[in-house]
Amino acid sequence: MADASPELRILAAIRAVPRGEVAGYGHIARRAGLPGRARLVARVLAHNDDPDLPWHRILRSDGRIAFAEGTRGWREQSQRLRAEGVRVERGRVKMPAPEAALDALLWGGMMDPPPAPKRAASTPKTVAAKKTKRPSAAKATPKAVPRDDRAAARPAKPRQRPAR
């Protein structure tokens, strides 16, 4: 599949989303080996004519239907999702944890991440380390010099005209 065109890889990733599940455009792009190409997924879906493609299972990353609310496409996508048992509230679906649900279904848990390593107890900071601070730039200016005298004390920079 690595030799397949990006469009074919995207279509295969869309077809892999099981009935009753949803995925985001970015998730499909990652599954197709095209991270960061969510807009390409949307373009492929927009130009697709295959009536068997489960396009309605692909949503925005926040779970919203991408069509404008109340349009024919919005209503059709909502109806198709509800027919598959997906809960749609005000055009939004609760999205699964990224990568978790689809990978578990496809790979049967073979790709489960290893358990997180145990953290060592942090060593307490000493009082001396907490009190040391870096001098800030605001404190570096002398306070005893009046504001008008500071400008006169600095050497004048020669003005240069911009090149024409």
Tell me what the mean pLDDT of segment 108-114 comes to: 52
**CA-based R_g, the chain, Å:** 29
Helix axes 6-15, 38-46, angle to 10 degrees: 80
What's 6-107's CATH class?
mainly alpha
| pLDDT averaged over every residue in the chain | 78
- Cβ contacts of residue 55 below 8 Å, gap of 6+? 14, 45, 48
Torsion over CA of 12, 18, 23 and 29, rounded to 10 degrees?
Answer: -20
DSSP string, 19-58: TT--EEHHHHHHHTT-TT-HHHHHHHHHT---TTS-GGGE
| Token pair belonging to 34 | 């095209």
pLDDT tens sequence across 60-90: 989 999 999 999 999 999 999 999 999 999 8
Q: How far, in Å, CA of 126 to CA of 38, rounded?
A: 48
Predicted structure pTM score: 0.58
44 or 147, which is more confident? 44
Distances (CA, A) of 8 to 16, 28, 136, 163: 12, 12, 56, 53
Residue ranges of domains in the chain: 6-107
Residue 96 pLDDT level (bands cut at 50, 70, 90): confident
pLDDT at residue 18, as a whole number: 93
Q: How far, in Å, CA of 103 to CA of 27, rounded?
A: 11
Residue with tokens 């730039």: 137
Residue 61 CB neighbours (<10 A)? 13
Q: Do the beta carbons of residue 23 and residue 99 sit within 8 Å?
A: no
